[in-house]
RNA sequence: GCGAGGGUGGUGAAAUUGGUAGACACGCUAGACUUAGGAUCUAGUGCCUGACGGCAUGGGGGUUCGAUUCCCCCCUCUCGCACCA
């Protein structure tokens, strides 16, 4: 016999069939729909193990749901814009488009070779104008609605990539893509007003019960809502006011100074003409430089300088010196804060350094005020005028109301979330469909001129100006309003824009009338199950949620949230670290497929760990998976005739037949439960392995008893059906070998019979003082009294009881007896 | 610093209304069949012990007849956030 079943031939055969018969092409149809989506890949060149794992998990679910009778949408495509294409083009002297499409062709072949059941009719590449033209149209619609704007601000600049990054794309102070240090830089750029949806993005997280808590928590924190008050402090000797945001209005009577961000527009003005002017100027410059130099996460020593001006506390009239302070963030709140050293640790440290007085206004309920730090806990107000004696939580509302009534304050909610900057100074991205006319100003491109095509003739260089800025043929245009000369926007969009709506485009990817075919979208959306890496917990998932809400408000969709259930699969690890080229521990899927076949690779990546955990790659483990499939194959092959023949159920089963029947039903039960429960395929597979072990031991010629052929057939059928979603070529072949026609995809999932799954004999553990001392074999319904009787008379047990008196006997039904002495 | 989630054999992992710890698999040991084996099959395999038995789910304490599971303290690893007022 051959060492291995001929996986190469079998896999080829079924892949050809699935493709030529278009088995996985779907349309809006009767029956419950199920939209399964895995995060689409960047076409970097080759599929890696992370893809294999992600897409295998997805394919199992897709096939499983089909067997359960769902109309399953399972599309695949390419997140095809992005910087690596430009870098590769420079390096290999080719064109980004060429490089990208070559990669796509290669990777598509690899995915086909894995046997994934995609509807390839729906394939999308986001770098095609037929895709991005709708993105440009939508951009203009959002612009007209006021949800997109242009501003000059401090942005995150990656010198390596020569482009701006969004806040979400800066990871630990480094570029998410190339890991080089990000530096602040002042630039103009286009922004999506994601903050307009901050409240809803936060609130709707509560609707996402099918998402991991970890991701919900991260998003909640990223959005960072905090409620408090905005208060205007009059500036002494000026008509101007200094506006601050605080979450602790209850401490306002304890303010002893004010802190203002160095970049704040008032900072220089406040010292103008005074003795402090030079000092303040110098401080502002120095802080700016220090912030650029500071490595990420490094907390600068608190430092500040007196501006020479004072604010007046609107409640008390107390003079509060205004300091420019290096720890005050311009980007959050109003860029200025009231400082209450007694009740804020940062203010305390600053005050201690510059010898500014503290004033206690919140008295702790029990303990004394701490000596050498701020007290930030709850308490009762003191030194606070009319509010003395009030609980500090209640005082927050009361003081805010008083400030509101007197006209110098109001309740205020602030978010940590900032608007999404999408301008990229790169070539390989969607052109931003805007232009600048000397007469008419910034204007959107006329709809009839869409799409703004990326020019194909382009010179790319390692550094220097943005490529489109060097193409007059591209940027020289005419104004749609006045017909005069105008200059096109030469920045392109962040590639996260394409991935924010691709899931919706899949519902009718070649729709020519607009961005979204509303009917198709209404049928398929939302995505029932989304699968991808946890590294997108903030980035992509937040942007896609925002886009969904914006598309809904523009009338394209009728859903609030795109992804009902989210599975974040763990990384693929080898030798304790993430697989990566730089670490030299990558395993190439194609090599493995050649050696073992796609089914074995699929099986191992499902078996080695539950999907949400990291998967430790182990070549020997792959051998094990292969061995298992071969074992099953050999059995089916050797019993072909029996399995093809017609059998009748035997009324009275002998012991070993009954055992196998029972195990089969138990296995179907466990498998079905575990797959529904968080897709724990690893335990599903182990259940089938157990069943297989029992099956293979069954037809032993040395035995007196023979297993009923009908039961063998039943067991084999169950194994084939259960494993089909995981190892589809293998099972399709076995299905055919055992005399069946038709695709298993549309064959009903096996049922189990609780009665048949039931054990008639069970093992009862006997414990003495909580330690296992003996075991009893009893029939299922044995009464507590009988069990008690048997337990105390058990020889082994007696030895441990000795002549000590029995205090108590605990009986747990069908499980154990504990004798307490 | 704050927040979240982990820590179980040589390895990947099972085990939840608290009830047989280690299913399944890898590896390892011995044997069988073989010209050969990185194929296949059989048996064994948490640790200590000659055995009876004892000890074991990061460490320590607690609740309980009984704790991987619940509570408290500590150690450690991973991830997220990081002066957000």
pLDDT for A295 equals 62
| C-alpha to C-alpha distance for A472 and A450, rounded to whole angstroms | 19
Scan residues 255-274 of chain A and list those with Cβ within 7 Å of strand B: 261
| Residue tagged 């382009």 (tokens) | A458
- Scanning every strand, the nucleotide with its C1' closest to A294's CA turns out to be B83
Query: Under CATH, which architecture does the A33-126+496-569 domain have?
Result: 3-Layer(aba) Sandwich (3.40)
The C1' atom of B42 and the CA atom of A794 lie apart, in whole Å, by 34
Give the CA-to-C1' distance from A769 to B67 in angstroms: 14
CA to C1' distance (Å), from A633 to B39: 15
CA-to-C1' span, A620 to B32 (A): 24
For the four alpha carbons of A392, A397, A403 and A405, in that order, the dihedral sign comes to negative
Q: Which two tokens stand for residue A329?
A: 């963030």
Protein-nucleic contacts, chain A 311-330 to strand B, CB < 7 Å: 326-329
Q: Which nucleotide is nearest to A173 (CA to C1')?
A: B82
Contact A181, A174 (CB under 8 A): yes
Q: Kindly report which amino acid residue has its CA closest to the C1' atom of nucleotide B24.
A: A686
Q: Which pLDDT does position A68 carry in this prediction?
A: 95
Task: State which residues between 93 and 122 of chain A bring their CB within 7 Å of strand B.
Answer: none
Residue at token pair 């999907």: A611
Measured distance CA(A762)–CA(A662) in Å, rounded: 13
By C-alpha to C1' distance, B80 is nearest to A218
Quickly give A4 CA vs B35 C1' distance in Å: 21
Q: Residue with CA nearest B20 C1'? A: A765
Query: CA–C1' distance A215–B71 (Å)?
Result: 28
Q: Cβ-count burial of A167 within 10 angstroms (0-12 exposed, 13-18 middle, 19+ buried)?
A: middle
3-state SS class at A158: strand
Give me the half-sphere count of Cα atoms (radius 13 Å) on the Cβ side of residue A691. Answer: 31
Strand B: list positions under 7 Å from protein Cβ. 3-5, 11-15, 19-21, 23-27, 37, 39-42, 53-54, 65-67, 79-85
Q: Which nucleotide is nearest to A246 (CA to C1')?
A: B85
User: CA A692 – C1' B53 distance (Å)?
Assistant: 37
Phi, psi of A685 (to 5 degrees): -65, -40
Domains A225-415 and A589-757 share a fold: no
Distance between the alpha carbon (CA) of A746 and the C1' atom of B82, Å: 52
Asked if residue A666 has a cis previous peptide bond (ω within 30° of 0), the answer is no
User: Is A310:A321 a contact under the CB 8 Å cutoff?
Assistant: yes
| Tokens (6 digits) for A697 | 């031991």
CATH number of A761-820: 3.10.20.590
Residues A255-270: pLDDT tens digits? 999 999 999 999 999 9
Query: What DSSP designation does A287 have?
Result: H
CA distance linking residue A452 with residue A474, whole number of Å: 9
Nearest protein residue to nucleotide B5 (CA to C1' distance) is: A214
Q: How far is the CA of A212 from the C1' of B74 (A)?
A: 29
Q: Which of A 344-373 have CB under 7 A of nucleic chain B? A: 344, 346
Q: What is the pLDDT of residues A24-70, one digit of tens each?
A: 999 998 889 999 999 999 999 999 999 999 999 999 999 999 999 99
For residue A621, give the nucleotide whose C1' atom is nearest its CA. Answer: B26
Which nt is closest to the CA of A680, judged by C1'? B14
DSSP assignment of A548-588 equals: HHHHHHTTS---S-SEEEEEEEPPEEETTEE--GGGT----
Tell me the CA–C1' distance in angstroms for A362 and B39: 79
- Burial status of residue A570 (CB atoms within 10 A of its CB: 0-12, 13-18, 19 or more): middle
Report the pLDDT value the prediction gives residue A274, as an integer from 0 to 100. Answer: 83
Protein residue with the closest CA to the C1' atom of nucleotide B13: A609
**A99 Cβ partners below 8 Å, 6+ apart?**
A85, A88, A89, A92
Among residues A633, A631, A610, A608, the alpha carbon closest in space to that of A619 is found at: A608
Phi-psi region of A346 (alpha: psi -120 to 50; beta: other; left: phi over 0): alpha
Cβ(A715)–Cβ(A756) below 8 Å: no
> Please, how many CA atoms are within 13 Å of residue A750, restricted to the half-sphere of its CB?
25
Secondary structure of residue A189 in the 3-state scheme? strand
DSSP A385-452: GGGTT-BHHHHHHHHHHHHHHTTSEEEEEEES---EE-EE--SSSPBP-EEEETTTEEEEPPGGG---
Q: Is A802 exposed, middle or buried (0-12, 13-18, 19+ CB in 10 A)?
A: exposed
Q: Residue A254 — φ and ψ, nearest 5°? A: -95, 5
How many Å apart are CA A244 and CA A225, to the nearest integer? 17
The reply to whether A673 has its C-beta less than 7 Å from any atom of strand B is no
Q: How far is the CA of A773 from the C1' of B52 (A)?
A: 13
Domain ranges of chain A: 33-126+496-569, 135-193+419-493, 225-415, 589-757, 761-820
- Provide φ and ψ at A413, rounded to 5°: -110, 135
Low-confidence ranges of chain A (pLDDT < 50): 1-2
The CATH T-level fold of domain A225-415 is Isoleucyl-tRNA Synthetase; domain 2 (3.90.740)
Measure CA to C1' and name the residue nearest B15. A683
Closest-approach nucleotide to residue A4, Cα vs C1': B39
Do residues A417 and A224 make contact, with C-beta atoms less than 8 angstroms apart? Answer: yes
Name, in order, each residue with C-beta under 8 angstroms of A144's C-beta and a sequence gap of 6 or more.
A444
Measured CA A359 to C1' B2 distance, in angstroms: 26
User: Can you tell me the distance from the alpha carbon of A96 to that of A108, in angstroms, rounded to the nearest whole number?
Assistant: 18
Q: Give the CA-to-C1' distance from A576 to B58 in angstroms.
A: 19
Question: CA triplet A420, A426, A429: central angle to 5 degrees?
Answer: 70
How many C-beta atoms lie closer than 10 Å to residue A619's C-beta?
12
Q: Could you tell me the two tokens for A137? A: 């149209």
pLDDT at residue A534, rounded to an integer:
86
The residue assigned the tokens 């927050």 is: A396
A595 touches strand B (CB under 7 A): no
Q: Where are the alpha helices (DSSP H) in A152-212?
A: 198-203
Closest residue (CA) to C1' of nucleotide B42 is A697
Q: Is the CB of A423 under 7 A from strand B?
A: no
Taking only the tens place, the pLDDT of each residue in A181-213 is 888 888 899 999 999 999 999 999 999 999 998
Nucleotide at minimal C1' distance from the A346 CA: B83
Fold annotation for A589-757: Isoleucyl-tRNA Synthetase; Domain 1 (1.10.730)
Question: CA A250 – C1' B82 distance (Å)?
Answer: 26
A 163-182 residues, CB < 7 A, strand B: 171-172
Strands A572-574 and A761-768, bridge-based pairing: unpaired
Which nt sits closest to A339, CA to C1'?
A: B85
- Strand B proximity: list residues 606-635 of A with CB under 7 Å: 607-610, 613-616, 618, 620-621, 623-625, 627-628, 630-631
N- to C-terminal Cα separation, chain A: 61
Q: Report if CB A772 to strand B is under 7 Å.
A: yes
**Length of chain A in terms of residues written:** 821
For strand B, list residues 742-771 of chain A whose Cβ lies within 7 Å of it.
763, 765, 767, 769-771
CB of residue A683 closer than 7 A to nucleic acid strand B?
yes
For A678-702, the DSSP string reads TT-HHHHHHHHHHHHHHHHHSS-TT
Nearest to A538 by CA among A168, A155, A37: A168
Q: Which two tokens stand for residue A542?
A: 């937040």
Torsion of CA A605, A611, A612, A616, to 10 degrees: -20
The C1' atom of B39 and the CA atom of A376 lie apart, in whole Å, by 71
């Amino acid at each position: 016999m051959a060492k291995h079943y001929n996986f190469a031939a079998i896999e080829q055969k079924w892949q050809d069939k699935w493709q030529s018969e278009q088995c996985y092409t779907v349309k809006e149809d009767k029956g419950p729909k199920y939209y399964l989506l895995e995060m689409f890949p960047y076409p970097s060149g080759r599929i890696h193990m992370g893809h294999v794992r992600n897409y295998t998990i997805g394919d199992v679910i897709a096939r499983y749901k089909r067997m359960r009778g769902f109309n399953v949408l399972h599309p695949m495509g390419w997140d095809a814009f992005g910087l690596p294409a430009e870098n590769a083009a420079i390096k290999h002297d080719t064109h980004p488009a060429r490089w990208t499409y070559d990669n796509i062709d290669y990777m598509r072949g690899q995915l086909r070779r894995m046997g994934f059941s995609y509807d390839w009719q729906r394939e999308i590449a986001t770098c095609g104008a037929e895709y991005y033209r709708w993105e440009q149209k939508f951009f203009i619609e959002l612009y007209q609605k006021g949800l997109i704007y242009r501003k000059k601000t401090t942005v995150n600049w990656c010198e390596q990539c020569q482009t701006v990054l969004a806040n979400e794309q800066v990871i630990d102070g480094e570029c998410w893509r190339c890991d080089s240090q990000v530096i602040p830089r002042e630039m103009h750029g286009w922004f999506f007003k994601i903050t307009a949806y901050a409240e809803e993005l936060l609130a709707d997280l509560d609707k996402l019960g099918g998402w991991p808590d970890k991701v919900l928590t991260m998003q909640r924190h990223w959005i960072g809502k905090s409620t408090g008050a905005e208060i205007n402090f009059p500036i002494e000797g000026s008509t101007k006011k200094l506006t601050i945001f605080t979450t602790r209005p209850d401490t306002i009577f304890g303010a002893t100074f004010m802190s203002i961000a160095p970049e704040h527009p008032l900072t220089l003005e406040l010292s103008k003409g005074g003795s402090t002017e030079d000092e303040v100027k110098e401080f502002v410059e120095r802080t700016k430089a220090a912030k650029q130099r500071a490595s990420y996460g490094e907390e600068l020593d608190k430092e500040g300088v007196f501006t020479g001006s004072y604010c007046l506390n609107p409640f008390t009239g107390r003079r509060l010196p205004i300091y420019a302070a290096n720890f005050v963030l311009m980007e959050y709140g109003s860029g200025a804060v009231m400082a209450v050293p007694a009740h804020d640790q940062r203010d305390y440290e600053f005050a201690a350094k510059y010898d500014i007085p503290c004033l206690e206004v919140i008295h702790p309920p029990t303990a004394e005020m701490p000596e050498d730090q701020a007290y930030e806990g709850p308490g009762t107000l003191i030194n606070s005028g009319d509010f003395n004696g009030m609980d500090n939580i209640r005082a927050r509302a009361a003081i805010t109301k008083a400030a509101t009534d007197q006209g110098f304050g109001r309740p205020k909610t602030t978010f940590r979330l900032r608007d999404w900057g999408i301008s990229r100074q790169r070539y390989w991205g969607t052109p931003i469909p805007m232009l600048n006319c000397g007469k008419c100003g910034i204007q959107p491109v006329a709809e009839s001129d869409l799409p703004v095509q990326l020019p194909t003739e382009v010179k790319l260089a390692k550094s220097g100006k943005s490529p489109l800025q060097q193409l007059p043929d591209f940027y020289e245009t005419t104004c749609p309003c006045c017909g005069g000369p105008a200059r096109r926007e030469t920045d392109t969009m962040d590639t996260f824009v394409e991935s924010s709506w691709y899931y919706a485009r899949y519902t009718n990817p070649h729709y020519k009338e607009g961005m979204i075919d509303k009917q198709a979208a209404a049928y398929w959306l939302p995505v029932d199950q989304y699968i991808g890496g946890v590294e997108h917990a903030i980035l992509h998932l937040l942007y896609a949620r925002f886009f969904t809400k914006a598309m809904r408000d523009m009338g394209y969709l009728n859903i609030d949230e795109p992804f009902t259930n989210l599975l974040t699969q763990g990384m693929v690890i080898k030798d304790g670290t993430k697989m990566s080229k730089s670490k030299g521990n990558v395993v190439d899927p194609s090599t493995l497929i050649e050696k073992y076949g796609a089914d074995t690779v699929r099986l191992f990546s499902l078996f080695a760990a539950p999907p949400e955990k990291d998967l430790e790659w182990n070549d020997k483990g792959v051998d094990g998976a292969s061995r298992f499939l071969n074992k099953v194959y050999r059995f089916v092959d050797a019993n072909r005739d029996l399995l093809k023949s017609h059998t009748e159920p035997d009324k009275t089963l002998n012991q070993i037949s009954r055992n196998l029947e029972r195990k089969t039903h138990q296995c179907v039960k466990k498998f079905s439960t575990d797959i529904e429960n968080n897709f724990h395929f690893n335990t599903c597979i182990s259940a089938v392995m157990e069943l297989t072990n029992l099956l293979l031991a069954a037809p032993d010629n040395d035995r007196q008893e023979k297993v009923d052929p009908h039961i063998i057939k039943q067991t084999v059928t169950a194994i084939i059906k259960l494993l089909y979603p995981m190892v589809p070529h293998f099972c399709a072949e076995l299905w055919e070998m055992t005399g069946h026609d038709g695709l298993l995809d549309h064959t009903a999932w096996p049922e189990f019979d609780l009665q048949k799954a039931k054990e008639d004999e069970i093992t009862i553990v006997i414990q003495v003082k909580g330690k296992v001392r003996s075991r009893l074999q009893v029939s299922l319904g044995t009464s507590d009294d009988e069990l008690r009787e048997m337990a105390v008379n058990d020889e082994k047990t007696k030895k441990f009881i000795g002549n000590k008196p029995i205090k108590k006997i605990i009986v747990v039904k069908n499980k154990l007896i504990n004798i307490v002495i």
